Chains A and B, each alone.
Chain A
Amino acid sequence: MIEEIGHYALVLALALALIQSTIPLIGARTRDGALMAVAEPVAIAQFGFVAIAFAALVSCYVTSDFSVKNVFENSHSAMPLIYKFTSTWGNHEGSMLLWVLILTLFGALVAVFGNNIPASLKATVLAVQAWVAAAFFLFILVTSNPFWRLEPAPFEGQDLNPVLQDIGLAIHPPMLYFGYVGFSISFSFAIAALIEGRIDAAWARWVRPWLLVAWMSLTLGIAMGSYWAYYELGWGGWWFWDPVENASLMPWLVGTALLHSAAVMEKREALKIWTLLLAILTFSLSLIGTFLVRSGVLTSVHAFASDPMRGVFILAILVTFIGGGLALFAWRAPLLRQGGLFAPVSREGALVFNNLFLTAACATVFVGTLYPLALEALTGEKISVGPPFFNATFGPLFAALLIALPFGPLLAWKRGDLAGVAQRLSGAFVVALIGVAATFVVEGRPLLAPFGIGLALFVIAGAVTDIVERTGLLRAPLMSVVRRAAGLRRSAWGTAFAHLGLGITLLGIVGETQWNAERIVSVKPGERIAVRNYDFTFDGTTDRNGPNFKEVAATFTVRRHGDVIGVMTPTKRTFGSRGTTTTESALMARGFSQLYISLGDINPDGSAAVRLYYKPLVLLIWLGCIVMVIGGGLSLSDRRLRVGAPKPARIKPTMVPAE
């Protein structure tokens, strides 16, 4: 019964989306207030019905109702409750339902909190939002219905892929989707602006909070996915330039560019048309990301061909929204009035530089990800594009961006003074040079490490300089510094924190890649292995039983200079229902560095194959991302955005629907 209610609610949501996608639009064109006003209650009701559908699916999962095909295929009665709950979106159908849940949530939030937006713009935005929703409702109902029943109902489910039974991967997709789908708002605003034929600084101010929420979620989602890969896959890598990862990185790159160009537009009315284009591109890349991951085209062209209905449907959605969006842009954008002027050396100029390099980096990732597919389809030639390619192309682009980064916030709007800024950054230069020299003296020949450390320190010191300059620290008396710091706009703090976070992440990347120590050995109980300054003694293995798996746990006593500093127990789990194994690596933090052990095969003589790592500064990679997100949060809490804008605290309670 519950699944039928869920199914029915989804159909009703589609009907509402169709109403919302037409009536308010007609209202906005004919200046009919009553028709425009339809959008708000319908958007809220639409979210309500999707929430009912989602809650129905969650309840099927939590109660292990295997009469539902989707639950049967992706769950098991012995799974811990938390994974029964999260497996709701650990599969294609459920994750698409989550996608529309978040999409309609954002629509409802615009309806509720967008009081300061002019009625016709708001009605048009909600209509465009409903076009996207309607397309995805149709997609779910026609090709990916999660409520399909089985008759007779099986006694037991087929279990969730054990690799997905992990808290990191349970939260990662919702965060990522919040990011992807959050960009739909800026897309809808861009399309609405094109339809209305009017755009000004206020537009950027309305879009910015949504943009920030989406960007923060995506940043967090990517970081979480990376940390999951690091501890779960067992060889300590944190970024693989895998197409699935690239799919999430591309919207992040262009979304970051959009965040910066929207700032220019808000302050100076410049870059308006470019900002609209970026808004369309960011959501387009989010859709492409969803398509790449969901259609199976990446696994192999054959997986795509084996279920053409889904793939072709998503492709149609892509063509409609990306093609339609860009066509509308080409037609209407030239009619928009251009904004303010600025000199090449200015804050605006620096942000244009940022946009140029971010979009070029995105183009590189895009072409690198899709080139092998396109080449094989066109010529039959098979090539591989992997990490060495991306490191060689993406790396230099980002290095150039990071060198320029500290200059941006210090330059004045309209016309800047490069020499003056360089002078103010002299402290940062000195810090960077000391870092380079120290690294060079300690490490010697490979120049990449000193350069990387120097660059990271330059970005970090640049962010600190920004705040020092703005508060007058070192120059003014203390009381005035405190007063100025308190009076400083939150968005200025946000900028500094986000840039600081990027520098911290880079520091972690350089530390981990340049000084990572690894031992791959076969150890007998009682044997000692040394990695850097740490001694690991293998004490033997024990067998344990989990709720739905069996595991072998190996115990290692860790010593540093002879003193015991702890015990690490990497395990290897075997999941009965699918017979698959996962490794649960053992981690021990030492400051920002980590010790890492991952367990391989246990031999009959009691010896174990293990990988032991010392990963210097590795935690900074993700800590930096968190600092970036804090920066986004500070920006979001800025006074200018507060009126009528959603605060993150208001979004959180609605993130997970009750059930």
Chain B
Amino acid sequence: MRGWRNALIALACWGAAAAVHPVLAVQPDEVLSDATLEARARGLSRELRCMVCQNQSIDDSDAPLARDLRLLVRERLTKGDTDAQVQDFLVARYGAFVLLKPPFEWYTALLWLTPAAALLAGAIAMFLAVRRRRAGVAGPAPLSAEEERQLGEMMDKSS
């Protein structure tokens, strides 16, 4: 049990070190000779997560796993896969965790809808506040029949 925990901590520390450990991510020997394919590979790499790192794309990471994934992406691309096919292949293999832009699913709906929901909530709150204020400034409510009668009595008395 303790060994397991220590291993986890070691892994976490290594991840942290990898996050700040600055070396070249993409190595010269990985670069494809076909410039268009290479550009597509780089674009894809930026959207894929290095799974052993802390929030790094495989394009930025120097971890061995990231290198393996970069080579894999290039291998699929040279074989004629489209970008979407490469992504699907990696998701099938590693799960949605590999995508830095999570897919829109029921469990990410809240995430994706946050910007719109926040704007909408703010706009509604503003609208309500304005309406309430308008009502507030419109002046006091007209007198009821009873109040009119009382007022009339007072006026009569004073005259």
Task: Report which A residues bind B (CB closer than 8 A).
Answer: 161, 163, 232-235, 237, 240-243, 298-300, 302-303, 306, 338, 341, 344, 352, 356-357, 359-361, 363-364, 367-368, 371, 375, 379, 381-389, 392-394, 396-397, 520-522, 580-583, 598, 600-601, 609-611
Contacts and interface: CB of A to CB of B under 8 A. Distances in A.
Nearest to B59: A235
Contacts of B54: 242, 298-299
A303 B123 CA distance: 40
Contact of B22 (A232, A379, A388): A232
Contacts of A384: 49, 55, 96-100, 102
Contact of A583 (B19, B23, B56): B23
B31 A520 contact: yes
A338 B63 CA distance: 57
Contacts of A609: 24, 27-28
A302 B9 contact: yes
A585 B130 CA distance: 55
18 contacts: A234-B23, A235-B60, A299-B12, A299-B16, A300-B8, A303-B9, A306-B9, A341-B137, A352-B126, A364-B114, A382-B97, A384-B98, A386-B57, A388-B100, A388-B101, A393-B115, A521-B31, A598-B22
B141 interface: no
Nearest to B116: A360
Interface string B14-47: 0111011111111111010000000000000011
B80 interface: no
Contacts, number: 150
Given A235-B25, A520-B28, 6 more contacts: A243-B55, A302-B5, A303-B9, A341-B133, A383-B108, A598-B22
Given A356-B119, A386-B57, A379 B100 contact: no
Contact of B100 (A303, A341, A387, A580): A387
A234 B19 CA distance: 12
B46 A387 contact: yes
A302 B8 contact: yes
A243 B26 CA distance: 23
A341 B130 CA distance: 9
B101 A392 contact: yes
Nearest to B54: A299
Contacts of A394: 115
B107 A580 contact: no
A388 B23 contact: no
A388 B28 contact: no
Contact of A360 (B26, B31, B118): B118
A367 B110 contact: yes
A335 to B, nearest CB: 15
A360 B100 contact: no
Given A367-B110, A381-B107, A242 B16 contact: no
Contact of A581 (B12, B23, B25, B99): B23
